[in-house]
Amino acid sequence: MKTKIFKSVVVLTMILFAFSCENDAMDGLVREDRQIVSFKLNGQVGPAIITPIGDDEGVVDIFAVMAGIDLNAVLPLVEISEKATISPNPNESANFNTNGGSFVYTITSESGKTRKWKVNLKPFVSEIDGDWGVTSFKFDWFIGKGESWGWGENNADLTAALSDAGLEKDNTLELVTTLVNESGNPEGTFDFGSGADMEFARFIVNPDHAGQVKDYSSRFRKMPIGKGVFEYNVAGKVLTLWRGNKSGISIEGKVTKSDTGTISIAFDNWVNEFTWDHWGAESQIQNSYTIYYNFVSL
């Protein structure tokens, strides 16, 4: 037993010694890395696109909301390779107006090799910004949702189940990005208007299966009426809306943009409230789990 323990200690000592020697060898190397690792500035949307070119050049593309950025005096936050240096000093303002929205930094490695990085500052154009008109208002429903049985329909016309939902079809939505937050997500304002008929959809069944008036607005009034603010998660394609300002209740919608430029915003509206004492349209309404606003650019 003592012999086995002794052998184990010897092996471990040899491994540690070899590892130590390897580290010492690495410490003696002169680094040639001369990369821009990250590049950030106020108003930037998403991470910088960093592309080395050959052995001594590179390009950094930055997309940003240009409002509020003084191109004559840009102060970025730049991270570069370890033990490398950068010129000009990024702590001093750079004039991006001198070369059509571009500026060149030179990174010099520890070994003295250089790479010139051309940083291009480009206007961010949001895929959701603009004036939009509702073309259709649809929903998904499924009887037996979460079960191994059932039936339903995807993208059914909501007006077939709730006729006054059709009042939403001429509504308009204006989205304007005004800034980019610390998470890199665009924020801005929205205005959901009533359109030519000056009315918004009503989600009322009169009468319902019991002969009463049943208001389903809490299920289907997901798009806030009037003016408010939004945040758009570009990576996840999630649009968060607040009526008025961010102190109120928020609602999240999933954005899909087609190749033809139309957009769709889908809201989750599932509530498990189905009963078996009625059929037809009201059953579909009670078993709706997603509603869709489909928009075209105006």
Specify the pLDDT at position 18: 56
pTM of the model: 0.69
The answer on pLDDT for 163 being more than 70 is yes
The answer on pLDDT for 26 being more than 70 is no
Residue type, 284: Q
Specify the pLDDT at position 145: 87
Specify the pLDDT at position 98: 86
Residue 263, by phi and psi: left (phi above 0), alpha (psi -120 to 50) or beta? Answer: beta
Residue 14: which pLDDT band, with cuts at 50, 70 and 90? low
Distance CA 104, CA 84 (A): 16
Indicate the length of the chain as a whole number: 298
* Most confident segment among 17-21, 177-181, 242-246, 271-275: 242-246
- Mean pLDDT across the stretch 202-220? 92
- Mean pLDDT across the stretch 131-150? 93
Domains and CATH numbers, the chain: 36-123 (2.60.40.2340), 130-297 (no CATH)
The answer on pLDDT for 159 being more than 80 is yes
For the CA atoms of the chain, what is the radius of gyration? Answer: 29
The answer on pLDDT for 20 being more than 60 is no
Distance CA 196, CA 250 (A): 27
Specify the pLDDT at position 92: 93
Picking from 132-146, 174-188, 260-274, which range would have the lowest pLDDT averaged per residue? 174-188
C-alpha triplet 279, 281, 286: angle, nearest 5°: 80
Mean of the per-residue pLDDT values of the chain: 89
Specify the pLDDT at position 17: 53
Percent of the chain exceeding pLDDT 70 equals 91
- Mean pLDDT across the stretch 53-75? 91
Neighbours of 15 (CB within 10 A): 10
